[in-house]
Amino acid sequence: MKDQLQAIEKEALEQIAQIETLKDLQDVQVTYLGKKGSITGVLRGMGKLSPEERPVIGEMANKVRESIQTNLAEKKEAIELKELEIQLEAEKIDVTLPGRPVRVGGTHILHSIIEEIEDHFIGLGYEVKEGPEVETDYYNFEALNLPKGHPARDMQDSFYITNELLLRTHTSPVQARTMNALDGEPIRMICPGKVYRRDSDDATHSHQFTQIEGLYVDKNVRMSDLKGTLDLFAKKMFGTDREIRLRPSFFPFTEPSVEMDISCKVCSGEGCSVCKKTGWIEILGAGMVHPKVLEMAGYDPKVYTGFAFGMGPDRIAMLKYGVDDIRRFYTNDVRFLQQFHEA
Ligand code: PHE
């Protein structure tokens, strides 16, 4: 039996020395140390031995088993180390390879225009206010002197969510909300944001566009204040050599109402294709806040007066940069949008 054990050990160690994979290692382990393995076989035969021989053979069998186990463990470690090395070699990073360029985004042109306008009015003491895009019929229309059934509602058809909820058609509801919340205190505010109208999209109409409106309510606010404010704005936005012109217009929430034009930059008033031979380009709507609107928001129209104006950053961007189609702002072609960023 001694010889048998020695032979097993010798054979096992030889085999272990040749193992190259973990799978082979597993097989060898089963062959020698498993339940049906050679060593177990020897131990089973111990019953036939004499009582003196038993401990000697037992001890020897244990030593052989330990020796095989140790060799297997060492081999396992060696194989794992080798596999790790192969893996590391395969995953080696070449730090000298050029990197992938990181694509840097930029501010959308409409947002840049809004920020520019905001900066100008913040400088004049205006606050920036925001409001919900899903608006109530009350704030979008009624609080602005457009009761249900008013014919001027036709100019601003919307997307209705319910009879009383709609996507706002202008940013004026933010003004009504702010006036309501302030309860009779003076206001200087501008409100930029997205607005929606049920229009058929074409080069100059988009069912979604942006607006920015301003409101100034206090004692003794006069039409001449409105004119001065708009003149300053036009010169800031379009150049100090621009002239403005106010034309009578109609909005239910302002009285009197005006439309503001700036002199055409391209022909300086001579008349060209950009200004349709008139020398003037329409920029915004404005007027003195209607006494009814003030009253509904809790202001006494005998004490307070105010002016409001509203414009479309889309139109301003189109004029400033010669963009021929409003839809370009919303179709997200990066080649178009990128032109307005440095690098
Ligand atoms: N809310 C108006 C519109 O969308 C614009 C406007 C605002 C006109 C404020 C006058 C005063 O057409």
pLDDT digits (tens, 9 = 90+) for 82-91: 889 888 988 8
Q: What is the pLDDT of residue 103?
A: 85
Q: What single-letter DSSP state applies at residue 213?
A: E
Residue 160 to residue 170: CA distance in whole angstroms: 14
Question: Which of 213, 193, 302 has the alpha carbon at shortest distance from 253?
Answer: 213
If one residue of 213, 247, 254, 293 were mutated to test the ligand 1 pocket, choosing by the most ligand atoms within 8 A of its CB, it would be 213
- Percentage of the residues of the chain whose pLDDT score is greater than 70: 99
Neighbouring C-beta atoms of residue 296, cutoff 10 Å: 17
Say whether 168 sits in a helix, a strand or coil. Answer: coil
pLDDT digits (tens, 9 = 90+) for 318-342: 988 889 999 999 999 999 999 988 6
Q: 71 pLDDT exceeds 90?
A: no
Q: Contact, 280 vs 245, CB < 8 A?
A: yes
Ligand 1 mean position, distance from CA 255 (Å): 12
Furthest-apart CA atoms within the chain: distance in Å = 128
Task: Give the residues surrounding ligand 1 with Cβ less than 6 Å away.
Answer: 170, 172, 213, 251, 254, 285-287, 308-310
Pick 36 or 224 by higher pLDDT: 224
Pick 42 or 234 by higher pLDDT: 234
| Among protein residues, the one whose CA lies closest to atom 6 of ligand 1 | 310
Residue-averaged pLDDT of the chain: 91
Burial of 200 by CB count in 10 Å (0-12 exposed, 13-18 middle, 19+ buried)? exposed
Q: What single-letter DSSP state applies at residue 100?
A: P
Q: What is the pLDDT of residue 342?
A: 67
CA angle 159, 163, 167 (to 5 degrees): 30
Radius of gyration of the chain (CA): 42
Neighbouring C-beta atoms of residue 101, cutoff 10 Å: 6
CA angle 114, 233, 341 (to 5 degrees): 35
Q: What is the pLDDT of residue 298?
A: 94
| Among protein residues, the one whose CA lies closest to atom 7 of ligand 1 | 310
Q: What is the pLDDT of residue 4?
A: 83
Question: Which of 215, 207, 27 has the alpha carbon at shortest distance from 124?
Answer: 215
Instruction: Give me the mean pLDDT over the 139-156 stretch.
Output: 93
Instruction: Give me the mean pLDDT over the 161-169 stretch.
Output: 96
Q: 284 pLDDT exceeds 90?
A: yes
Residue 230 to residue 224: CA distance in whole angstroms: 10
Q: 194 pLDDT exceeds 70?
A: yes
Q: What is the pLDDT of residue 8?
A: 84
Phi–psi pair at 273, nearest 5 degrees? -70, -30
Q: What single-letter DSSP state applies at residue 160?
A: B
Nearest atom of ligand 1 to the alpha carbon of 285: 8
Q: What is the pLDDT of residue 1?
A: 78
